[in-house]
Structure 1
Amino acid sequence: MSTSATEKVVPDMAELLAGSPKNWGKWGPDDEVGCLNYLTNDEVLRGVSAVKQGKTFTLQVQMGNPAGDPMFPGRKDVQRVNVVDRGLYMCGCGPRFPGNLEYADDMMVMYLQGSSQYDALGHLWYGDQIYNGYDAMTTIGGMRKASVLPIGERGVVGRGVLIDMARHRGKDSLDRGETFDHQDLINAASAQGCEIQKHDILLIRTGWIGKFYKSDRADFYKDYIEPGLTYSPELVKWFNETEIPNLVTDTCANEVTIDPESGVALPLHNALMRNLGVAFTEIIALDDLAADCAADGQWTFLYTAAPLKVVGGSGAPVNPIVIK
Structure 2
Amino acid sequence: MSETTYSNERPNAWQRWGADDEAGALNLIGPDQVRRAAGLVRSGQVLRLAQPLSRRTPVPRHRSGLQHFMGRDGGDYAAGANRPGGFQFAEDTVVMPLHIGTHIDALCHAWCDGRMFNNYRENTMRSTSGATLLGVEKMPPAVTRGVLLDVVGLRGRALAADEVITRSDLQACLEAARLQLEPGDAVLLHTGWLAANLGKADVDFNAEPGIDHEAGLWLAQQDVAMIGADNYAVEVLPFAEGTVFPVHQCVIRDYGIPLLEGLQLEELVATKRREFLFVAAALPFVGGTGSPLAPVAVL
Aligned partner (choices 305, 309, 313) of residue 288 of structure 2: 313
Instruction: Report the residue type matching 1:290 in the other structure.
Output: V
Extract unaligned runs of 5+ from structure 1: 1-16
Secondary structure of 2:221's partner? helix
The match for 1:170 among 156, 163, 181 is 156
Alignment-derived partner of residue 40 in structure 2: 50
Which one of the candidate residues 219, 238, 245 is aligned to 2:218?
238
Cα offset for 1:188? 1.6
- 1:304 partnered with 2:279: yes
Equivalent in the alignment of 1:100: 86
Counterpart for residue 37 of structure 1: 27
Q: Calculate percent identity across the aligned residue pairs.
A: 30
Is 1:76 the counterpart of 2:35? The answer is no
Which residue in 1 is equivalent to 2:207? 225
1:258 alignment partner in structure 2: 238
Alignment gaps of 5+ in structure 2? 1-6
Instruction: Tell me the number of residue pairs that the alignment of Structure 1 and Structure 2 aligns.
Output: 291
Measured after TM superposition, the shift of residue 189 of structure 1 is 2.1
Q: Secondary structure at the match of 1:248?
A: strand
Query: Is this contact kept in 2: 1:70–1:212, CA < 8 A?
Result: no
TM-superposed deviation, 1:18: 4.0
The aligned residue for residue 133 of structure 1 is 119
Equivalent of 1:186 in 147, 168, 171? 171
Alpha-carbon RMSD across the aligned residues, in angstroms, is 1.8
TM-score normalised per structure 2 = 0.92
User: For 1:99, what is the secondary structure of its paired residue?
Assistant: helix
Task: Answer yes or no: is 1:121 the counterpart of 2:107.
Answer: yes
The superposition leaves residues 178-211 of structure 1 with CA deviations (integer Å, 9 ceiling, x where unpaired) of 1112221110222234333343210111111111
Name 1:10's counterpart in structure 2. Answer: none
2:17 equivalent in structure 1: 27
Deviation of 1:239 after TM superposition, in Å, equals: 2.4
Q: Which digits, 9 at most, give the CA deviation of each residue in 1:49-69, with x for residues without a partner?
A: 11122111111100006xx21
Kept in 1, the 8 Å contact 2:182–2:223? The answer is no
> Which is worse superposed, 305-314 or 249-258?
249-258
* 1:145 equivalenced with 2:127 (yes/no): no
Cα distance in 2, alignment partners of residues 196 and 82 from structure 1: 46
Q: What is the SS of the residue equivalent to 1:217?
A: coil
- Aligned counterparts of 2:150 and 2:101: Cα–Cα separation in 1: 21
* Equivalence for 2:3: none
Kindly indicate whether the alpha-carbon contact (under 8 Å) linking 2:14 and 2:255 is maintained by their aligned counterparts in 1: yes
* 1:209-246 deviation per Cα after TM superposition (whole angstroms, max 9, x unaligned): 111214x333x327x211100113xx355224310110
TM-score using structure 1 length: 0.85
In 1, are the aligned partners of 2:191 and 2:210 still within 8 Å (CA)? yes
